[in-house]
A and B are shown apart, each in its own frame.
Chain A
Amino acid sequence: MSSTTLGAAPVPAVPPKIETPFHRFVAEFAASSIAVGALVVFAIIALVAILAPWIAPQNPYDLAVLDIMDGRLEPGSVGGTGITHWLGTDDQGRDMLSGIMYGLRISLTVGAGSALIACLVGASLGMLAAYAGGRTDSAIMRLVDLQLSFPAILAALMILAFLGKGILNVVIAIVVVEWAYYARTVRGSALVERRREYIEAAQCLALPTHRVIFRHLLPNCLPPLIVVGTMQIARAIALEATLSFLGLGVPITEPSLGLLIANGYEYMLSGKYWISFYPGIALLVTIVSINLVGDQLRDVLNPRLKK
């Protein structure tokens, strides 16, 4: 195509900027400074969580460095080990700042991990429903309806009541609670996309079904899935924190933010606020930053909002 127009049009002085969909997406996302700020904040949180063992002032689960005499120190005081506890210490003398960094690791891993598994399960079932249609479709969607008509906290409670506590069981509970959102989203966009010409073309070329689904249909269903996925990570983190707060989540040896907050509960009434307060702030900042990023993603990726 370029060879036919080469001589006709004058060559522009500046080569035209290549605009790929990805560039456009980045530019549109960056249009909201709040969303960019939230993304930066989340990146910092994730970095802190990953690097916790190297940057935390103290390993809060190494009993050798803990001193019970340092218990419940106020924020900013210096403990017997010479460490300044900027956010205070808990009842065991653990540095809260270090505890929060380690807690973030667990909260983010459980939250993102279970959201990802839920995405895999939900997206596969949603795709299957859309592609197979008929009885399979209605069976899967009935299950989705049933799942969505019960509040998340209740379904999770039910599963943990049967399976017992533990990280793995929390992940299972979150996956069971969240898969339906992904399934509904993927089915919705797959039903629209599979009637498009490019799918028809792919089928006419006698491409194998799995190729049509994974190489043609799935990439085009991704935008809404990314939006739902972002929001569901935030929800998963909040749900895990709630379950751990209730004492049904992660074990005491691997405290997530929710369990840290629960630990401070009994000291709240005697005015020692920091044991619960700061992990809560960390949780809040994490959830809000993910939600703000998700909000902007929805605006950018939703074709209906485009003018």
Chain B
Amino acid sequence: MTVYLLRRLIQAAGVVLAMSLLVFLGVYAIGDPVEILISPDADQIERERAIRSLGLDLPLWEQYLVFLGKALQGDLGRSFVFNEPALRLILDRMPATLELAVGATVAAIIIGLPLGLYAGLRPDSAASKAIMAGSILGFSLPTFWVGLMLIMVFAVQLGWLPSTGRGETVEVLGVRWSFLTWNGLSHMILPAINLSLFKISLVIRLTRAGVREAMLMDYVKFARAKGLSPNRVVFVHVFKNILIPVVTVVGLEFGGTIAFSVVTESIFAWPGMGKLIIDSINVLDRPVMVAYLMVIVLMFVVINLAVDITYTVLDPRVRLEGKA
């Protein structure tokens, strides 16, 4: 186990290193580094001083080592637009994104589980067929368009929910959160549902498949034969067993949710990391782009590593495969 863990850790570090090289080359080899790293308003003397101080007169490999060394110390450059360290900008906005992603995950479970359960228990009813057709739509619908339609219906025509921003926030442990105030929560509903649309469909399908499989199992037959009420059979015996795969897959999808929040945040003007990166790309604020990419790569590697390790704990076959 320790050997496996160590090997995975080394692999993860390798991926981060490879990605840092990719990002470095993306910024330095494809674009003109002077243009990228020095504000376009700078005059000639400033430019030359900046080139020297940034070490741009050094050979490329040496520059990469400098970049890497600074990155390890958490220095990923300063934003041209905000004139703040890029990393701090990203980290400032991370809670908003995480909050939205968690909200979407919770919404997917609250909405998807009951629908999937119903569709699994009564697979031939008209309602179940409608649910399944809806889940196909959920996979096919372009998320950004659904977001616009949500705004149109619930914010513009019905006027029930706000469509932009985070609303009121409360500071807990030095971080501002929206979900602790009614106003903030109401701001979160539309974006969270928009972001969770794909996941709702996923949860419905997983739950339905799980329920249909479980209903044929011996333990369900036995529970019925014991004379337990149908409710108890479904909500205690079946439910417990389908929950494990559903929770696993939803957890796995968390990284994808964070990535996809780029779209949702742009539509609903949610001030998270995703909106920041789109704005930065549009004004060519490259240090922020580099910092975002490094942070997100690190996040993904950590999520993938956590998933792999969890799998290893749950499924010994993975470990044996690694040895062979």
Query: Which residues of A does B touch, CB under 8 Å?
Result: 146, 149-151, 153-154, 157-158, 160-163, 234, 238, 241-242, 245-248, 258, 261, 264-265, 268-271, 273, 276-277, 280, 283-284, 287-288, 291
Which A residues touch B142, using CB under 8 A?
A: 238, 241-242, 258, 280, 283-284, 287
Q: Flag if A151 contacts B260 (CB, 8 Å).
A: yes
Chain B nearest CB, measured from A129 CB (Å): 19
Contact of A151 among B137, B151, B256, B281 (CB under 8 A): B256
User: Once bound together, how far apart are the Cα atoms of A270 and B157, in whole Å?
Assistant: 10
Q: Flag if A153 contacts B262 (CB, 8 Å).
A: yes
Tell yes or no: B148 within 8 A of A by CB: yes
User: Once bound together, how far apart are the Cα atoms of A134 and B145, in whole Å?
Assistant: 45
Contact of B148 among A149, A268, A270 (CB under 8 A): A268
Q: Flag if A284 contacts B30 (CB, 8 Å).
A: no
Q: Flag if B300 contacts A245 (CB, 8 Å).
A: no
- What are the 9 A-B residue pairs with the smallest beta carbon separation, nearest first? A162-B26, A280-B145, A151-B259, A154-B259, A151-B256, A288-B140, A245-B144, A161-B289, A287-B140
User: Once bound together, how far apart are the Cα atoms of A287 and B156, in whole Å?
Assistant: 27
Q: Flag if A154 contacts B296 (CB, 8 Å).
A: yes
Tell yes or no: B320 within 8 A of A by CB: no
User: Once bound together, how far apart are the Cα atoms of A162 and B25, in whole Å?
Assistant: 10
Which A residues touch B111, using CB under 8 A?
A: none
Which B residues touch A154, using CB under 8 A?
A: 259, 262, 296
User: Once bound together, how far apart are the Cα atoms of A42 and B289, in whole Å?
Assistant: 38
Which A residues touch B51, using CB under 8 A?
A: none
User: Chain B, interface size: which category?
Assistant: 35 or more
Which A residues touch B15, using CB under 8 A?
A: 146
Tell yes or no: B255 within 8 A of A by CB: yes
Tell yes or no: B282 within 8 A of A by CB: yes
Q: Flag if A153 contacts B263 (CB, 8 Å).
A: yes
Tell yes or no: B175 within 8 A of A by CB: no
17 more contacts with CB within 8 A, not counting A234-B140, A246-B266, A248-B278, are A154-B259, A157-B281, A161-B26, A161-B277, A162-B26, A163-B30, A241-B142, A242-B142, A261-B145, A268-B156, A273-B152, A277-B149, A280-B142, A283-B142, A284-B142, A288-B137, A291-B139
Tell yes or no: B31 within 8 A of A by CB: yes
Query: Which residues of B does A touch, CB under 8 Å?
Result: 15, 23, 26-27, 30-31, 136-137, 139-145, 148-149, 151-152, 155-157, 163, 255-256, 259-260, 262-263, 266-267, 277-278, 281-282, 289, 293, 296, 300, 304
User: Once bound together, how far apart are the Cα atoms of A287 and B224, in whole Å?
Assistant: 44
User: Once bound together, how far apart are the Cα atoms of A21 and B145, in whole Å?
Assistant: 41
Can you identify 13 A-B contacts, CB atoms within 8 angstroms?
A146-B15, A151-B256, A154-B259, A154-B296, A157-B281, A160-B281, A163-B30, A245-B145, A246-B278, A269-B156, A284-B141, A288-B137, A291-B140
Q: Flag if A291 contacts B259 (CB, 8 Å).
A: no
Which A residues touch B289, using CB under 8 A?
A: 161
Q: Flag if A268 contacts B145 (CB, 8 Å).
A: no
Q: Flag if B145 contacts A149 (CB, 8 Å).
A: no
Which B residues touch A245, using CB under 8 A?
A: 144-145, 263
Closest to A159 in B: B26
Q: Flag if A280 contacts B148 (CB, 8 Å).
A: yes
Q: Contacts A153-B263, A158-B293, A247-B278: A291 and B136 contacting too (C-beta < 8 A)? A: yes
